[in-house]
Amino acid sequence: MKTTVTYNANEYKIDLSKPLDISIPITSKKDNVNAWYIDAPKIEPHREKDFVGSIPAGASTNFYDIWFNPHAHGTHTECVGHISKERQSVNQHLKQFFFLAEVITITPSVEQGDFVITKNQLQKAVSSKTPTALVIRTLPNATSKQNRQYSHTNPPFILEDAMIFLKELGVEHLLVDLPSVDKEKDNGALLAHKAFWNFNAAVRLNATITEFIYVPDSITDGTYFLNLQVAPFENDASPSRPILYKIE
């Protein structure tokens, strides 16, 4: 179903019947994507005395309990509450769900033994564009990203000055195919998170970071319409399902 969308006084034609899902789901499998040194998610029938919430086990309905951590187990969107002493909810701060987004692809460079995304790389990839939302795909882009166990692997991350560049460019919603924009073990410095949210000045409460996306190779770099939806948890982060639409 094709429709015309008006965004910032400009009209864009998209086909709603052709969504491009860049999320990684949460499953109960041991190979569910994982980070931060915790067990895999659990999705299992609720049990209470003789009751087992499963139709195959004799119940009238399936009635499952789910245990997961949004930061560790799949695509999630987070707000500044992730790093602030004050409780902040992404469900309260993310009130708009459609954005013009730019998809870029970057091969992290090596600096001091780490794979990093630099300011210079972002400047070249973004060029003259000023997107509200930025989607970063890193290379190599193996499908194994959807099942990778990231703990103790020192994945690529974004340097502080690169995040300052994105903040100053006006990027309000950053989406990455990494478990974090910061180095896995940084002694709690969180330089990239703090830079993006302008943490030590006028905090950007409405800005979000989405981690653990997966952008298939079939999605080319360029401008898309983004629908960024989160589950309505009152928490610093929530499972999310970012959907891209080609602009015709």
**Euclidean distance between CA atoms 239 and 76, whole angstroms:** 4
Q: What Rg value do the Cα atoms of the chain yield, rounded?
A: 19
End-to-end, the C-alpha distance of the chain in Å comes to 12
pLDDT of residue 5: 86
Cα(86)–Cα(175) distance, integer angstroms: 24
CATH, domain 2-24+73-246, list 3.50.30.50, 3.40.50.720, 1.10.3720.10, 3.30.413.10: 3.50.30.50
Q: How far is CA 112 from CA 18, 123, 186, in A?
A: 42, 21, 14
Tokens representing residue 88 in the block? 């902040």
Q: Is 33 exposed, middle or buried (0-12, 13-18, 19+ CB in 10 A)?
A: buried
Residue 116: the pLDDT is 98
Output the tens digit of pLDDT for each of the chain's 248 residues: 889 988 888 899 999 999 999 999 999 999 999 999 999 999 999 999 999 999 999 999 999 999 999 999 999 999 999 999 999 999 999 999 999 999 999 999 999 999 999 999 999 999 999 999 999 999 999 999 999 999 999 999 999 999 999 999 999 999 999 999 999 999 999 999 999 999 999 999 999 999 999 999 999 999 999 999 999 999 999 999 999 999 99
